[in-house]
């Protein structure tokens, strides 16, 4: 099987009826980067910067951050990297950082909320990224954005940092794109404004599903209780893809469901053309894409989503559809 997938490395991810799908890779440490070449992924669609912070004995200095980002960019010279700013808090605790005990950490002070309340930390990280990407393309996205104002505030900080570097004669990225992660359900009712303000959107379905169903993704009692392959989740995800298309902005989905072939099939059917996943998922998802007639999948899933039969999961029907091909 693995050998079969290895053979697919240089095969473009195109459906039987000719739709090209961009398959990107998630990474978090420098050791992940060689998988880019092994898998043939188009780019690093999500670089989780908190990993460096979690394995470090103390808060990484600006120069240490810069060196990591530069090493990542250097090892993927011809492919873009989308860095996500620090996503700590909740389950991702930094032992050296004093935090408050929270009753509900997943609903607490985490990710961009920390970044906006401690802008010095965010600025330092942005500066490290901007310097590391001197002369080349840079994509940065902000995690746990809950409203457009938070995205605007984070974007403002990034643009001020860029202006500061330019003013002081530093080389800066040739192109900078700033994106929002869509993983808090409130954004579903601000999608058009968000898509107008952001250069791209990236759906964090792990968190989005956790917050939609109010089910802790790390609590084994409830984490598997609700199927993301369900009418409410797919309808929500479809709205996000539609908003991106209306605004002419790329929407990538970078949660775990994008790396599971059956879920990925449903995602293609509702309009996703860009998925970012763990390296080991690229082969299986590409094999699915090569075997898929997208037109048929679209018709099938659209009919499922138009039904109101109240079934909590579409998995069986999706599986039957996939096996009947």
Q: Which residues bind ligand PEP (CB under 6 A)?
A: 46, 48, 87, 183, 204-207, 254-255
* Cβ proximity to ligand PEP, 161 vs 207, nearer residue: 207
Q: How far is the CB of 16 from ligand PEP (least distance, A)?
A: 29
* Cβ proximity to ligand PEP, 162 vs 187, nearer residue: 187
Residue 182 interface partner, choices ligand PEP, Mg ion, none, CB cut-off 5-8 Å depending on type: none
Contact 152, 142 (CB under 8 A): no
Q: Which residue has the tokens 């970012």?
A: 276
Q: Which residue has the tokens 């984070």?
A: 154
Here's the x/- map for Mg ion, 43-82, by CB under 5 A: it reads as: ----------------------------------------
Interface with Mg ion includes 105 (CB under 5 A)? no
User: Which string of b and e fits 36-75 if b means at least 16 CB within 10 Å?
Assistant: beebbbbbbbbbbbbbbbeeeeeebeeeebbbbbbebbee
Task: Fill in the DSSP letter of residue 10.
Answer: T
Interface with Mg ion includes 228 (CB under 5 A)? no
Binder of Mg ion out of 32, 190, 207, 238 (CB under 5 A): 207
* Cβ proximity to ligand PEP, 209 vs 318, nearer residue: 209
**One-character DSSP codes across 275-314:** EEE-HHHHHHHHHHHHT--HHHHHHHHHHHHH-----S--
* Cβ proximity to ligand PEP, 5 vs 47, nearer residue: 47
* Residues whose CB falls within 8 Å of the CB of residue 310, separated by 6 or more in sequence, listed in order: none
Q: Residues in contact with Mg ion, total (CB under 5 A)?
A: 3
Please report, as ranges, the residues that interact with Mg ion according to CB under 5 A. Answer: 183, 204, 207
């Amino acid at each position: 099987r693995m050998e079969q997938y290895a053979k697919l490395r240089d095969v473009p991810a195109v459906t039987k009826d000719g739709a090209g799908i961009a398959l990107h890779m998630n990474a978090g440490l420098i050791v992940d980067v060689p998988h880019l070449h092994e898998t043939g992924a188009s780019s690093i669609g999500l670089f989780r910067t908190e990993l460096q912070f979690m394995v470090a004995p103390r808060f990484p200095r600006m120069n240490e951050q810069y060196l990591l980002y530069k090493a990542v960019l250097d090892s993927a010279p011809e492919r873009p990297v989308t860095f996500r700013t620090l996503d700590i808090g909740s389950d991702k605790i930094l032992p050296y950082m004093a935090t408050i005990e929270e009753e509900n950490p997943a609903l607490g002070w985490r990710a961009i909320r920390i970044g906006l309340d401690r802008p010095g930390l965010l600025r330092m990280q942005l500066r490290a990224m901007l310097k590391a990407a001197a002369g080349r393309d840079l994509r940065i996205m902000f995690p746990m954005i809950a409203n457009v104002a938070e995205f605007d505030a984070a974007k403002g900080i990034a643009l001020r940092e860029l202006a500061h570097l330019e003013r002081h004669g530093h080389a800066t990225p040739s192109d900078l794109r700033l994106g929002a992660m869509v993983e808090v359900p409130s954004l579903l009712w601000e999608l058009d404004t968000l898509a107008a303000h952001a250069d791209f959107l990236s759906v964090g379905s792990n968190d989005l599903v956790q917050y939609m169903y109010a089910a802790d993704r790390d609590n084994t009692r409830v984490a598997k209780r609700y199927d993301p392959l369900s009418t409410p989740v797919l309808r929500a995800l479809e709205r996000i893809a539609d908003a991106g298309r209306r605004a002419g902005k790329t929407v990538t989905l970078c949660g775990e469901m994008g790396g599971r072939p059956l879920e990925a099939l449903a995602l293609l059917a509702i309009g996703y053309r860009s998925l970012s996943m763990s390296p080991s998922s690229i082969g299986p998802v590409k094999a699915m894409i090569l075997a898929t007639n997208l037109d048929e999948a679209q018709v099938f899933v659209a009919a499922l989503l138009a039904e109101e039969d109240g079934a909590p999961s579409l998995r069986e029907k999706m599986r039957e559809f996939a096996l009947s091909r």
